Structures are given as C-alpha cells and as structure tokens.
Amino acid sequence: MTPESSRFIHKARTHLKRADTMLGVGLYEDAGRAAYLASFHAAQAFLFENLGKIFKTHHGVQSEFFRLTKEDPRIDLNLRVFLSQAYTLKAIADYEEGEDSPLFRDRAVEAVAMAARFVNVIVGWLDPSK
C-alpha cells in the first residue's frame, strides 16, 4: 500500500472510532457524518491505489468508486452504493434543521456498522495481510 493510501486508511479508521464514540453519547447525526467520512477516505485510498490520483470532490470519489467496482465480484451492491447513500447522512448532519432532520439512532448505528464493513473490505483489498 502506498503512503498516500495508508494515510487515507488511517483517516478512515479515525472517523470510525469517532463514530463509535458519538453513538455512545447520542450524537447520531455526527455519527452518521463520521460513518460517511470513514467510507469516503477508504474509497480515496482504493482510488489512489488503482488510479494514482486523488479526487477532490465527494461526487468524484463516489462516481469513480462506483465505476471501478462495477464488475468486481468481491463487493456486493449494498456496499457499492453505501458511499453515495451515506453522503445523505453527512448532508442531513451538515445542513438540515427542524424536527424532521435528526438522524435517528437506528439509522446511525446501521451506517456506522456498514462504514466499518466498507473500510474493512477496502483494507482487505489493499493489504491482504490485515
């Protein structure tokens, strides 16, 4: 794994730890945002290893990841689409207000679990010894 990808994976794992902490204290919107960011950074590592470039936008990372994993049997559809779906959690946490906006506990817990799976799959691809 390249040093750049290692840094992305480190950042992904840091966000996963933060997400777990946030769940523990009831900060569900923040946990959802951290789950997305963990997946985003893991996807950045995957893209850098495969393409040698860093994507600057969320949309760019999401679409390139989806494109590159399209025919890959190692990843199921739920995991492939998680990155773009999880962006919604970040958007809710960052921009929405009012009674309808809070990210409920179950959704946050599910997102954090899926993000952990996402990061672990990417790490397994990039460094099979882990």
pLDDT 10s digits, 84-125:
888 777 767 666 654 454 557 788 888 999 999 999 999 998
pLDDT 10s digits, 36-93:
999 999 999 999 999 999 998 988 998 899 899 888 888 888 888 888 888 777 767 6
Count, residues in the chain: 130
Tell me the three-class secondary structure of the chain, residue by residue: CCHHHHHHHHHHHHHHHHHHHHHHCCCHHHHHHHHHHHHHHHHHHHHHHHHCCCCCCHHHHHHHHHHHCCCCCCCCHHHHHHHHHHHHHHHHHHHCCCCCCCCCHHHHHHHHHHHHHHHHHHHHHHCCCC
Q: What pTM was estimated for this model as a whole?
A: 0.87
pLDDT of 7 > 80? The answer is yes
Q: List domains and CATH numbers for the chain.
A: 3-126 (1.20.120.330)
